[in-house]
Structures are given as structure tokens and as C-alpha cells.
Amino acid sequence: MNFSTIYDDRVSRDGRVAAHDKYDMVLDANLRRIGAWSTALQYIEDFRGAFDR
């Protein structure tokens, strides 16, 4: 399988991305945001914990 095969499977002939692929991209972006917020909140918790001792 090469790139053109993968690309052809994901993009219709008129250049639009299939709805389920858009859903996957949005889901991936949202999961990355959640991960980033989770990491940021953990840093804040660790920072505050260092000074509460």
C-alpha cells in the first residue's frame, strides 16, 4: 500500500474528506486538547504541592 492508495481511500474524487474521517480528525484534536489540559493541571498541582509542604 502506498500513499496514493491511502489518499484515494480518504478523499473523494472531488477533493472532499469523508464525514467519518472529519469525525476522526475532530476526535483526535479534542483528545490532544484534553491531554494537554490534563498535563497542565498536573503541573499546577505539583507546583502548588511543592509550596504547601
* Cβ atoms of residues 19 and 12 within 8 Å: no
> What is the Cα gyration radius of the chain?
20
Q: What is the DSSP string of 23-38?
A: HHHHHHHHHHHHHHHH
Q: Model's pTM, two decimal places?
A: 0.54
Specify the number of domains making up the chain.
1
How far apart are alpha carbons 28 and 38 in whole angstroms?
15
Give the pLDDT of residue 51: 87
Structural domain containing residue 26: 3-51
Helix, strand, or coil here: 40? Answer: helix
The total number of residues written for the chain in this structure: 53
Going residue by residue through the chain (53 aa), what tens digit of pLDDT does each one get? 444 544 455 555 666 777 778 888 889 999 999 999 999 999 999 999 988 86
